Structure 1
C-alpha cells in the first residue's frame, strides 16, 4: 500500500443541526390525523378521570391547569384572542381540519351545541390545522353553517402552546373545554356527538 493511499481519509458528511422550532413543530404534526388518539396527558398531574365516551374531565377545579395563549388570525383574517375576547366565558376549542372525515361527522353537533349554549355563557372556537390553504376550511364552515370563528393554525404552532402534562389535544379532531377561569376542565380526543357535548358542558355551566 502506498503512503498516499495509507493516509487517505474518507470525506465525512457534515450534519447540520436541526432548529429546535422545526423539531417541535414536526412533533406537533405527528398527531394522529383523524385518529381516536389515546387517553394520555399526564393523569397524575392533572387529576383527570376517564369519563364516558372517551372524554377526560378534571372535576377538582383547583387541579385544573391554565389554558395557553390562544391568539392569532382567524380563517377570515380577523384577530382573535380567546382569553381576552371570551374572558369569563366557558370556551369549547375544537381542533379540526377540512380534510378530516370525523371532523365532518361531528360538525353538525358542534354547530347545534354552539347555538344552544350561546345564551348560557359558552363560546365555541375552532382551531383549523394542517390546511395549507384556508379556502377549503372556509368552504367547510360555509357548508356546515359554522357560527363561530376558527383560528388558522396550519403549521400546528398553537398546539405547541399547551402545557406538558395537561389535557392537550392529541388527535384530530380533539376538543378542549376551558372553564370560566381560563382553566382546562375537560378534553375529548375523538369526534363528539350531541350527548357527549351536553354531558360535558352542563356541569361546567352549573359551576359558580
Structure 2
C-alpha cells in the first residue's frame, strides 16, 4: 500500500471515528428494533398511545451540582427529560426554549430534568446551564449509562439532543430525537399534560 493510499485510508477512518464520537445531530432513527409503540408524526415527534406506554427506567444519581436526584420523585407530574451536552451545537440552540418553557410551566404540574452526557467534567455543564439560564436540575451522566436504561428503541445514544415526556404515571409518552424550539416542545408537552 502506498503512503498516499495509507494516508487517505487513515483520514477516512479518523473522519468516521470523529463523526461517531461527536454524534451530535438533528433527527434520525432510534437505536434498535424494540417495540416501544412510538409512532412518528410529521413534526418529528413520536408518541405512544396512553395504554401502550413503557414505564420510564430508574433515572437517579448525582446532578451536575452534586445533589442527589431521582426522577421517580416527580411521579404525578409530567416530566420533560432533555438529554444534552455542553459540546453540542443543537443543544445550545434549543437551550433558550427549554429554559423559557420550563419557567412558564413550573407551576402547571410540569418538571424539567436534564441529563448531561459526554462532558468529561461538570465544569462545562455548569457553565452551559448558567449561560442559558437553565434553572432545572440535570443528572450528570458522562458515559451515557442513564440513556441505556431505556427500553431498546426509545433513545439512540448517538442522537443528542433528545427529549422525552414522561406522563403523570411515570411512563414514556413522547419523544423527539432532534433539537426542538418552543413551539415544537409545546406540541409535544401539551397533549400529555392535558391527559386525565
For structure 1, the 5+ residue unaligned runs are: 1-29
Residue number in structure 1 paired with 2:107: 119
Residue number in structure 2 paired with 1:39: 29
TM score, norm. by length of structure 1? 0.80
For structure 2, the 5+ residue unaligned runs are: 1-19
Residues of 2 paired with 1:63 and 1:183: CA distance?
Answer: 9
C-alpha distance 181-32 of structure 1, shift in aligned 2 (>3 A): farther
Residue number in structure 2 paired with 1:168: 155
Bigger radius of gyration: 1
Secondary structure class of the residue paired with 1:124: strand
- C-alpha RMSD over aligned residues: 1.7
Q: How many residues align?
A: 176
The structure 1 residue matched to 2:94, chosen from 92, 98, 106, is 106
TM score, norm. by length of structure 2? 0.84
Residues of 1 paired with 2:177 and 2:45: CA distance?
Answer: 7
1:62-73 residue pairs with structure 2 within 5 A?
62-73=51-62
C-alpha distance 119-76 of structure 1, shift in aligned 2 (>3 A): same
Secondary structure class of the residue paired with 1:132: coil
Residues of 1 paired with 2:22 and 2:77: CA distance?
Answer: 30
Residues of 2 paired with 1:144 and 1:134: CA distance?
Answer: 15
Secondary structure class of the residue paired with 1:52: coil
Task: Kindly report structure 1 stretches of 4+ aligned residues shifted beyond 6 Å.
Answer: none
Residue number in structure 1 paired with 2:79: 91
Partners of 2:80 and 2:112 within 8 A in 1: yes
Residues of 1 paired with 2:108 and 2:70: CA distance?
Answer: 20
The structure 2 residue matched to 1:180, chosen from 164, 168, 182, is 168
Partners of 1:169 and 1:175 within 8 A in 2: no
1:47-58 residue pairs with structure 2 within 5 A?
47-58=37-48
CA shift at 1:39, angstroms?
A: 2.9
Residues of 2 paired with 1:74 and 1:51: CA distance?
Answer: 32
Residues of 2 paired with 1:31 and 1:127: CA distance?
Answer: 18
Secondary structure class of the residue paired with 2:43: helix
Does 1:61 pair with 2:50?
yes
